[in-house]
Structure 1
Amino acid sequence: MTVAVCAAVILAMIAASFIANRRLPPADRLPMQWGVSGRPTWSAPRLAALSFMPALAVVTIAVIYVASGGALPGGAVVIVAFLAAHLLHLWMIGRQLGQA
């Protein structure tokens, strides 16, 4: 059950990235991190910026799955945290580019 939830959430993250890619204004690079002033401190190529969190979620869940012997203790909590962080990141990118 938890594996199915994790897979569904990862697919939702990927879908959110595809939607964001179509809706965000054209830009070769997208912000990845913001400083305390609210200004981006570094950016990444568009594809990397939109795929980083889903890829990190897949790797993290896979490591937890393998390390726990085929179980996902707390996997649902971890994956929902990744989803929340990804959606926040996409929202912040849109806000920065003037497309909230």
Structure 2
Amino acid sequence: MAALLCLLTLCVMLGVAWRANGQFQNHSSLPMQFGPTGQAGWHAPRRVALAFMPALAAGTLLLMVLFVPVLSSIATACACLLGGQLLYHWLLARSL
């Protein structure tokens, strides 16, 4: 059940990243860091910036499934990682 939840979360995250890739196709690079005032710090190529959160989630969730197979912990991690990606995309939309 935990592995299925991780797989579903990764599929949703990849879908969100795919959609954002089309939305931000006019930009060759995207900000990766935002300051307290909302100004962008450093930038990365668009595909790298959008693939970062799904890649981070894949590594994190794989380690959790292998070493901490507790469903409540994995569900919390899935929600936090997906929420982090959605926050990042919201900040992107605001700054561009």
Under a length normalisation based on structure 2, what TM-score does the superposition of the two structures give?
A: 0.91
Tell me, in whole angstroms, the C-alpha distance in 1 between the residues paired with 2:35 and 2:94.
15
Question: In the alignment, is the contact (CA less than 8 A) between 1:34 and 1:40 conserved in 2?
Answer: yes
Tell me, in whole angstroms, the C-alpha distance in 2 between the residues paired with 1:86 and 1:37.
20
Question: In the alignment, is the contact (CA less than 8 A) between 1:3 and 1:72 conserved in 2?
Answer: no
SS at the partner of 1:30?
strand
Cα RMSD (Å): 1.3
Aligned counterpart, 2:42: 42
Q: Which digits, 9 at most, give the CA deviation of each residue in 1:10-56, with x for residues without a partner? A: 10000001111111251111011111121011111101100000000
Letter in 2 for 1:39: Q
Give the number of the structure whose residues are more often strand, by fraction: 1
Aligned counterpart, 2:60: 60
Deviation of the 1:66 alpha carbon: 2.1
Unaligned segments of structure 1, at least 5 residues: none
Structure 1 outlier segments of 4+, above 6 Å: none
Question: In the alignment, is the contact (CA less than 8 A) between 1:29 and 1:45 conserved in 2?
Answer: yes
Give the number of the structure whose residues are more often helix, by fraction: 2
Deviation of the 1:95 alpha carbon: 1.4
Tell me, in whole angstroms, the C-alpha distance in 2 between the residues paired with 1:45 and 1:72.
36
Greater mean deviation of Cα atoms: 42-51 or 71-80: 71-80
Q: Give yes or no for the alignment of 1:92 onto 2:86.
A: no
SS at the partner of 2:38?
coil
Letter in 2 for 1:87: L
Unaligned segments of structure 2, at least 5 residues: none
Aligned residues: 95
Q: Which digits, 9 at most, give the CA deviation of each residue in 1:37-81, with x for residues without a partner? A: 21011111101100000000000011122223xx24501110110
Letter in 2 for 1:4: L
